[in-house]
Amino acid sequence: MSIAMDNQFLFILIAGIFIGGAAAYLGSLMLAKRMALVGDALGHVALPGMGLALLLGLDVSLGAFSFLLLGIFLIWLFEIKTSLPTEALVGIAFVASLAVGFLIVPEPELLEALFGDISKISFGMAATSAVFSILIFLIVKSIYPKMVLASISNDLAKSEGIGVKKQNFIYLLSIALIVALGIKIVGSLLVGALVIVPAAAARNLSRNLKEYYSLSIILGILSCFLGILLFEFTGFSAAAMIILTSTFFFLVSLIFKR
């Protein structure tokens, strides 16, 4: 192994650990059942954006993020215009984006867009991931109690003077940001799992909120760290290794469920 390879591996680990931790922390706020779909769907909404970015030679995260903003805006708009439940709207955005993305993304890059390609992670990408992950962490930390309260009851939150819509919007933006980063690690198909799976495992093991979000972050980081190590030693897809590691944690958490 050359020194350059070693550095590359370090960059991958740094990006993975930061993104994995921040994504899992965000995921721990998906307390209401319908929210779990959102993270998953947004990964797919990113796909057409990634396709465009690849065609134009831009950074895929940038393309993904602009489409995610568009997706969030459309879901929000549909929500006002119709009385359909959010999950139905999210589902529509989800399949439509997948179809458009499939058309737009150039075939050689399709696999990369769907499952990620961590071998392309550079120093710049690792640094960007770390900075944005910390930013997301701080934003989410500041809205955490309000979001928990809104998950318990919108009315209760509103009666406390909390602007529930504003908090939700900030939260969705944070998810869009982490998805835009996460697609580089695990691709658009699996990025939702970075958000959902560690928190689901942590919920099984926790008696209180502090245990819950701490454990979510730890499991998110561990999944990425161990998954990337497995990728390094076995040569299997990193995305698959990361998600299977977190799924393994989830299965174990079922045994020790409190």
Partner 1 sequence: MGIILKVENLSVELYGETILENLAFKVEEGEILTILGPNGAGKTVLLKALLGILPHKGKIEWRQGVKIGYVPQRLPFIKDIPMSVGEFFKLKKTSDKITRDILKSIGLAEDILRKKIGSLSSGQFQRILVGWALVSNPQILLFDEPTTGVDISGQESIYEFLEKLKEERGLTILLITHDLSVVYKFATRCLCLNKKLLCYSLPKELTPESLAQLYGGEIKLYEHSHG
Report the residue number, 44 or 203, with the smaller CB distance to partner 1.
203
Report the residue number, 106 or 163, with the smaller CB distance to partner 1.
163
- CA distances from residue 168 to 26, 89, 90, 143, 146 in whole angstroms, order as listed: 12, 16, 15, 9, 10
The answer to whether 50 touches 111, Cβ cutoff 8 Å, is no
- Indicate whether 257 belongs to the interface with partner 1 (CB under 8 A): no
The string of DSSP letters for 7-47 reads: HHHHHHHHHHHHHHHHHHHHHTT--STTHHHHHHHHHHHHH
The single residue among 1, 103, 108, 210 that binds partner 1, judged by CB under 8 A, is 210
- Indicate whether 171 belongs to the interface with partner 1 (CB under 8 A): no
- Indicate whether 82 belongs to the interface with partner 1 (CB under 8 A): no
Residue that has been written with the tokens 């939260």 in this structure:
171
Report the residue number, 143 or 242, with the smaller CB distance to partner 1.
143
- Indicate whether 2 belongs to the interface with partner 1 (CB under 8 A): no
The answer to whether 181 touches 187, Cβ cutoff 8 Å, is no
**Whole-number CA gyration radius for the chain:** 18
- Binding piece for partner 1, criterion CB under 8 A, among 65-73, 174-182, 204-212, 222-230: 204-212
Torsion of CA 182, 186, 188, 192, to 10 degrees: -70
CB of 210 to partner 1, least distance (A): 7
- Indicate whether 148 belongs to the interface with partner 1 (CB under 8 A): yes
3-state SS, residue 201: helix
- Binding piece for partner 1, criterion CB under 8 A, among 13-21, 115-123, 207-215, 245-253: 207-215
Report the residue number, 11 or 212, with the smaller CB distance to partner 1.
212
Taking the CB of residue 6, how many other CB atoms lie within 10 A of it?
Answer: 10
Please give the Cα distance from 57 to 80 (Å, whole number): 36
- Indicate whether 206 belongs to the interface with partner 1 (CB under 8 A): yes
- Binding piece for partner 1, criterion CB under 8 A, among 69-77, 92-100, 143-151, 173-181: 143-151
CB of 242 to partner 1, least distance (A): 24
Report the residue number, 120 or 166, with the smaller CB distance to partner 1.
166
Report the residue number, 129 or 206, with the smaller CB distance to partner 1.
206
The single residue among 122, 155, 165, 236 that binds partner 1, judged by CB under 8 A, is 155
Taking the CB of residue 74, how many other CB atoms lie within 10 A of it?
Answer: 16
Exposed, middle or buried, 103 (CB in 10 Å: 0-12/13-18/19+)?
exposed
- Binding piece for partner 1, criterion CB under 8 A, among 43-51, 71-79, 121-129, 201-209: 201-209
Exposed, middle or buried, 256 (CB in 10 Å: 0-12/13-18/19+)?
exposed
Residues that bind partner 1 (CB under 8 A): 31-32, 83, 145, 148-149, 151-153, 155-156, 158-160, 203, 206-212
